[in-house]
């Protein structure tokens, strides 16, 4: 078993040891300050140095069955029995400890806001750490937890204790989460000067000696994973400080560009967003008007009795407005820069009968583009895509439409409205007098007795 120096003093990052075993590019030392990967925390990296050379430590892992800690090296390997000096990468170690302590402290802050916010899972492999909470905390709860923790870290000196106790004595410490560890359990406790514990958790990871060294703890966002489970994304310590500095620097640059103080940037952005929305609406209306004008100017061709308009636009943003403006009872083909194209029809069934099945724009369009090596499709009345052969697009679609025979449905004749009186008869053009017309209508006398 390797002696775990990191549990004896988590801030001691240099040590002396002896090589015990070698396997491939990995070595085992009799003692190490390199923390092995585990408990959601990344393993340490650094360097081993000996009289004849040195090698970088790329990763560290623990064999649970034997208790040996293996160090994966890059470079020459020392021989068994070689005395070495180890040095842990300080920046990586401190940031890992800040993440882990920040996770414990933030979880406790949420629990104090509402005991229903219990931890389901954690992630600390990256600067953006995660805390999956049950109970669906709302934004008001998130803000309350962040404020509570900020005030606690800023006003209270919480120091780290890591006692190892029997599982039978865990109830004396009231850990925040139930532990599945049996036998001897290592606890991580942050306690104030009066002896009151802020957080108690069973944990095998490494932590900062004072909770304030994990500050600031900043919540970046929340994500709803599923009903009853919300992911809180946060940063802690130096990484959180760097993030806040970067965000403020960007905000300051924006403020200077807007000629306003930093705290008025949201107000200025809101005003610009409203102005943008107005301009977008005006631009959309102008595009629709232009699309209508382009369609009116396009000549109407006839394909087996079907009116077809072909329109080429020089702006991709006009493609969809042109397709949406297709006149009733017609087909529109549109071509834009880059081979972007489209096809649309409108109420053909009201104006034509077909020799075969209904004209499905999406099917026809997709088939033509696939044959040309392009791709696209859509619904039965409108479709869009891209073709590598834009010069032949119009001809190919019209050829596909030629497979149909379109017969225009006669326009319905107007019927007299219900209750409208019939018009009086007028004299025919033959010049007959009105009395003659009446006489023709009267019955002739009969000579029969």
Exposed/middle/buried for 226, CB within 10 Å: 0-12, 13-18, 19+?
exposed
Instruction: Calculate the alpha carbon distances from 297 to 309, 312, 337 in Å.
Output: 10, 11, 19
Digit-coded pLDDT (tens) for 371-409: 999 999 898 899 999 999 999 999 999 998 887 766 666
pLDDT at site 72: 96
Mean of pLDDT over the chain = 89
**pLDDT per residue as tens digits for the range 183-239:** 899 999 999 999 999 999 999 999 999 999 999 999 999 999 988 999 999 999 999
6-12 contact pairs (CB < 8 A, 24+): 6/32, 6/33, 6/34, 6/35, 6/44, 6/206, 7/162, 7/186, 10/97, 10/206, 10/207, 10/209, 11/209
pLDDT at 94: 96
pLDDT band at 179 (very low <50, low <70, confident <90, very high): confident
**For residue 200, how far is the Cα from the chain centroid?**
35
Q: Compute how many other C-beta atoms are within 10 angstroms of the C-beta atom of residue 425.
A: 9
**Helical ranges in 311-432 per DSSP H:** 319-324, 348-351, 361-371, 393-401
Task: Identify which of 25, 14, 42, 29 has the alpha carbon closest to the alpha carbon of residue 68.
Answer: 29
Backbone angles phi, psi at 106, to 5 degrees: -70, -40
- Contact between residue 308 and residue 401 where contact means Cβ atoms under 8 Å apart: yes
Burial of 406 (0-12, 13-18, 19+ CB in 10 A): buried
Q: Are 232 and 142 in contact (CB under 8 A)?
A: yes
In SS3 terms, 103-170 reads as HHHHHHHHHHHCCCCCEEEEECCCCCEEEEEECCCCHHHHHHHHHHHHHHHHHCCCEEECCEEEHHHH
Least confidently predicted of 42-56, 87-101, 178-192, 420-434: 420-434
Cα separation, 412 vs 346, in Å, equals 19
Q: Are 99 and 57 in contact (CB under 8 A)?
A: no
Q: What is the largest CA-CA distance in the chain?
A: 155
Strands 184-191 and 217-226: unpaired
Q: Encode pLDDT of 407-444 as tens digits.
A: 666 666 666 665 555 555 454 444 444 444 344 444 45
Choice among 149-153, 230-234, 344-348 with the minimum mean pLDDT: 344-348
Cross-strand pairs, 425: none
| Predicted pLDDT at 425 | 47
Going by their DSSP bridges, the two strands 229-236 and 26-29 should be labelled as: unpaired
User: How many of the other CB atoms lie within 10 Å of CB of 430?
Assistant: 6
- How close are the terminal C-alpha atoms of the chain, in Å? 143
User: What digits encode the pLDDT tens for the residues 255-282?
Assistant: 999 999 999 999 999 999 999 999 999 9
Tokens of 324: 């949406």
The pLDDT assigned to 361 comes to 85
Whether the model pTM is above 0.75: no
- Supply the angle between the helices 393-401 and 361-371 in degrees, to the nearest 10: 130
Task: Report percent pLDDT > 90 for the chain.
Answer: 75
CATH of domain 94-245: 3.30.980.10
Best CATH choice for the domain 3-88 from the list 2.40.30.130, 2.40.50.220, 3.30.470.10, 3.40.1440.10 = 2.40.30.130
Residue 39 is inside which H or E element, if any?
Answer: none
Phi and psi based region of residue 429 (left: phi greater than 0; alpha: psi -120 to 50; beta: remaining):
alpha
Q: What is the DSSP letter of 62?
A: E
Is the sign of the CA dihedral 287, 293, 299, 300 positive or negative? Answer: positive
* pLDDT one-digit tens code per residue, 275-315: 999 999 999 999 999 999 999 999 999 988 889 999 999 99
pLDDT at residue 360, rounded to an integer:
81
Domain 290-408 has CATH 3.40.50.970: no
Q: In terms of pLDDT, which residue wins out, 173 or 424?
A: 173
Note every long-range contact of 377-380, with CB atoms under 8 Å and residues 24 or more positions apart, other chains counting. Answer: 378/342
Among the residue ranges 104-108, 138-142, 224-228, the one predicted with the least confidence is 224-228
| Structural domain spans, the chain | 3-88, 94-245, 290-408
Per-residue pLDDT, 418: 57
Measured in residues, the chain has a length of 449
């Amino acid at each position: 078993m390797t002696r775990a120096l990191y549990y004896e003093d988590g801030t001691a990052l240099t040590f002396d040891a002896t090589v015990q075993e070698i396997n491939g590019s990995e070595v085992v030392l009799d003692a190490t300050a390199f923390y092995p990967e585990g408990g959601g925390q990344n393993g340490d990296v650094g360097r081993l140095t000996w009289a004849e050379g040195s090698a970088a430590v790329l990763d560290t892992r623990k064999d649970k069955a034997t208790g040996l800690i293996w160090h994966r090296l890059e470079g020459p390997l020392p021989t068994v029995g070689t005395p070495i000096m180890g040095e842990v990468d300080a920046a990586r170690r401190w940031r890992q400890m800040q993440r882990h302590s920040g996770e414990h402290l933030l979880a406790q802050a949420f629990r104090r806001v509402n005991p229903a916010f219990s931890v389901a899972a954690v992630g600390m492999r990256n600067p953006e750490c995660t805390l999956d909470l049950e109970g669906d905390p709302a934004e008001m709860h998130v803000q309350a937890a962040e404020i509570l923790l900020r005030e606690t870290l800023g006003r209270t000196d919480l120091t780290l204790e890591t006692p190892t106790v029997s599982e039978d004595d865990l109830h004396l410490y009231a850990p925040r989460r139930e532990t599945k560890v049996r036998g001897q359990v290592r606890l991580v406790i942050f306690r104030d000067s009066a002896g009151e514990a802020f957080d108690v958790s069973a944990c095998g990871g490494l932590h900062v000696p004072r909770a304030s060294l994990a500050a600031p703890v900043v919540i970046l966002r929340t994500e709803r994973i599923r009903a009853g489970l919300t992911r809180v994304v946060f940063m802690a310590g130096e990484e959180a400080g760097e993030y806040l500095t970067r965000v403020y620097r960007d905000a300051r640059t924006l403020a200077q560009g807007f000629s306003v103080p930093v705290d008025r940037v949201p107000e200025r952005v809101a005003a610009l967003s409203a102005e943008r929305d107005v301009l977008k609406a005006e631009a959309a209306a102008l595009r629709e008007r232009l699309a209508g004008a382009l369609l009116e100017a396009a000549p109407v061709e006839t394909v087996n009795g079907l009116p077809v308009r072909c329109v080429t636009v020089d702006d991709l943003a006009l493609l969809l407005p042109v397709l949406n403006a297709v006149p009733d009872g017609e087909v529109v083909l549109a071509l834009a820069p880059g081979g972007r194209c489209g096809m649309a029809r409108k109420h053909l069934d009201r104006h034509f009968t077909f020799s075969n099945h209904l004209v499905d724009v999406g099917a026809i369009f997709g088939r033509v583009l696939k044959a040309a090596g392009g791709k696209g499709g859509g619904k039965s009345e409108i479709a869009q895509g891209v073709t590598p052969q834009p010069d032949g697009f119009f001809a190919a679609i019209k050829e596909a439409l030629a497979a149909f025979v379109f017969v225009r449905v006669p326009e319905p004749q107007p019927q007299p409205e219900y209750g409208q009186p019939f018009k009086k008869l007028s004299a025919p053009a033959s010049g007959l007098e009105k009395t003659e017309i009446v006489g023709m209508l009267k019955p002739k006398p009969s000579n029969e007795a």
